Structure 1
Amino acid sequence: MDEKELSLLGNKTVYKSDYAPEVLEAFTNKHPDNDYWVRFNCPEFTSLCPITGQPDFATIYIDYIPDIKMVESKSLKLYLFSFRNHGDFHEDCVNIIMKDLIKLMDPKYIEVTGIFTPRGGISIHPYCNYGRKGTKFEELAEKRLFAHNS
């Protein structure tokens, strides 16, 4: 790994007070010829309801098959924490996370799941995914989407 690609590791941590996709950093994958899964689990994700301003809590799962770039975990942590004061619906949060990571890494495949704790007696578990167009990963995305929770 080329350390010049990363600026957050080893430095004082600064937490952003609102949605901050600019904190995301990527590094070069040493194994782009291998197809393999990377999973992140963020059990302390928090965002705000855009209507009431009340906090919503979730576990966010991010699974992806990298290509050339990979997300650096400290930057991902800071990015996910930046949702703490951000108002968006659950479904929006998972789609925003996925789209920001696609923009950062251009992965072969990615999926994001939010397991939100119940509020008002209802829990919401949004799921979104993406597979690179014209590849076997586009087919994987369709299969996993239509088989989700079956």
Structure 2
Amino acid sequence: MDTNRRQEGLQLLGKETDYAATYAPEVLETFQNRHPENDYWVQFNCPEFTSLCPITGQPDFAEIKILYMPGERMVESKSLKLYLFSFRNHGDFHEDCVNIIMKDLVKLMQPKYIEVVGLFMPRGGISIYPYANYGRPGTKYEKMAEQRMLQHHAL
């Protein structure tokens, strides 16, 4: 592992993977953004996301897409993977999962801007694609979030 990353206290990189059996936001880790003065996008796609229907207990399958502009901190990808996989035994509605993921990431790294979309597979003949976004209050990113929300359309 890169010496700078080790100095930042990352615990998961380069170690044996331990998968949480329940929702585990505590596994999320961050590292210092080396370019906080730049606006740039980071995108993560998790095509194997699963959670449980809170009513039936049946599994729900989705692709989760996370797109953000980092501020001072960035989410470490292995910790994000473990966090997303921790939803596999978590019972929540699709819309709740997407909003929980967004809120946890905002709390964790305070990005300039972030959006999360869930492309859930059909159940009962209907697909659900919840979308949530956030822009840092009082900045151009807050306005950007408003605009992107107003212009959001089905994928």
Structure 1 unpaired stretches of 5+: none
Distance 2:72 2:98 in 1: 23
SS in 1 for 2:133: strand
For residues 23-102 of structure 1, the aligned pairs below 5 Å read 23-102=27-106
Structure 1 outlier segments of 4+, above 6 Å: none
Distance 1:2 1:15 in 2: 22
SS in 1 for 2:118: strand
What is the TM-score when the length of structure 2 is the normalising length? 0.95
Distance 1:72 1:2 in 2: 10
Structure 2 unpaired stretches of 5+: none
The equivalent residue for 1:2 is 5
Aligned residues: 150
The equivalent residue for 2:111 is 107
Deviation at 1:59, TM superposition (A): 0.2
What is the TM-score when the length of structure 1 is the normalising length? 0.98
Distance 1:33 1:23 in 2: 27
SS in 1 for 2:51: strand
Deviation at 1:132, TM superposition (A): 0.4
Aligned residues: CA RMSD: 0.8
- Cα deviations across residues 8-32 of structure 1 (Å, max 9, x unaligned)? 0011100000100000000000000
